[in-house]
Amino acid sequence: MSIYITELDSRFLDFPSPHEALEEPNGLLAFGGDLKPQRILAAYHQGIFPWYGPGDPILWWSPAPRAVFNPKTFKPAKSLKKFQKKQQYLVTINQATDRVIELCAATRSAEETWLNTEMRAAYQDLARQGHCHSVEVWDHEKQLIGGLYGLSVGRLFCGESMFSLSPNTSKIALWYFCHHFNQCGGQLIDCQVMNPHLASLGATELKREDFLQSLLSLREQRVDSHCFHRQTLSLSDQEPQ
């Protein structure tokens, strides 16, 4: 059985509809094109993202269902609250984005080599343009020990990857970011495809149509202007400890 997907024309930024994505492999939509910032942004505004392995062309995906977090209802485990209360790690936003991207790549397993040199450079370019953002967790010696990064699309944040060099630090980054993003008016965090780790953190799934409807609305809205300024993140007095 032959599988046919669209080859992108490098002269244009058009993508096929996400509804045309394959069921197997789940979400494969197109191949080719490039990783220029304008193409990646056009993709994310349609619920599409790049992912490909060594020796593959650039592959574009829009899987269903979609794994998401609701930042308003995200609840960290009691054990994580207790852990952070004891450790008091510093959490910041947009203070080491290039480094976070590099560490996300460096801590992948041998089977997870999608965050290659070209992909890292593309998201670092997007960071310099103000579209890609990171959350950092620092120990008491000011060493970067955990974090995450992704793209902002209006009131939707498209999470790309996270890393931990010490126990629980990616979870702390997600917890603090959910709180901060909610305070800024953010409404949804896209995690792409569900896995056991995301499920353990409380991620849920949206049907393709529901995700795309949310995206259509949220991409046209804006979070508070200070949301992605370089700053230290903290929990408000209302946040249970």
What pLDDT is recorded for position 113?
63
92-120 pLDDT tens trace: 999 999 999 999 999 865 445 678 999 99
Q: Is the distance from CB of 219 to CB of 226 less than 8 angstroms?
A: no
pLDDT at 3 over 90: no
pLDDT at 28 over 60: yes
Q: Is the distance from CB of 220 to CB of 187 less than 8 angstroms?
A: no
Tell me what the mean pLDDT of segment 162-179 comes to: 97
CATH for 6-63 is 3.30.70.3550
Lowest mean pLDDT segment, chosen from 54-58, 79-83, 105-109: 105-109
Side-chain-side CA neighbours of residue 221 (13 Å): 15
- Find where tokens 């230290």 sit: 232
225-234 pLDDT tens trace: 999 999 999 9
What pLDDT is recorded for position 114?
77
CA 231 to chain centre: 19
Identify the band that residue 236 occupies on the pLDDT scale cut at 50, 70 and 90.
confident
Q: Is the distance from CB of 228 to CB of 134 less than 8 angstroms?
A: no
What pLDDT is recorded for position 2?
57
What token pair was written down for 135?
């959350």
* pLDDT-above-70 percentage for the chain: 94
CATH for 67-233 is 3.40.630.70
Identify the band that residue 238 occupies on the pLDDT scale cut at 50, 70 and 90.
very low
What pLDDT is recorded for position 125?
98
What pLDDT is recorded for position 107?
84
What token pair was written down for 198?
């995301």
pLDDT at 224 over 80: yes
Side-chain-side CA neighbours of residue 212 (13 Å): 14
Identify the band that residue 138 occupies on the pLDDT scale cut at 50, 70 and 90.
very high
Lowest mean pLDDT segment, chosen from 17-31, 96-110, 206-220: 96-110
Q: Is the distance from CB of 197 to CB of 135 less than 8 angstroms?
A: no
What pLDDT is recorded for position 30?
97
* pLDDT-above-90 percentage for the chain: 88
Domain ranges of the chain: 6-63, 67-233
The Cα 49–Cα 31 span in angstroms is 11
The Cα 167–Cα 1 span in angstroms is 45
Tell me what the mean pLDDT of segment 68-95 comes to: 97
3-class SS letters over the chain: CCCCCEEECCCCCCCCCHHHCCCCCCCEEEEECCCCHHHHHHHHCCCCEECCCCCCCCEEECCCCEEEECCCCCCCCHHHHHHHHHHCCEEEECCCHHHHHHHHHHCCCCCCCCCCHHHHHHHHHHHHCCCEEEEEEECCCCCEEEEEEEEEECCEEEEEEEEECCCCHHHHHHHHHHHHHHHCCCCEEEEECCCHHHHHHCCEEECHHHHHHHHHHHCCCCCCCCCCCCEEECCCCCCCC
pLDDT at 36 over 70: yes
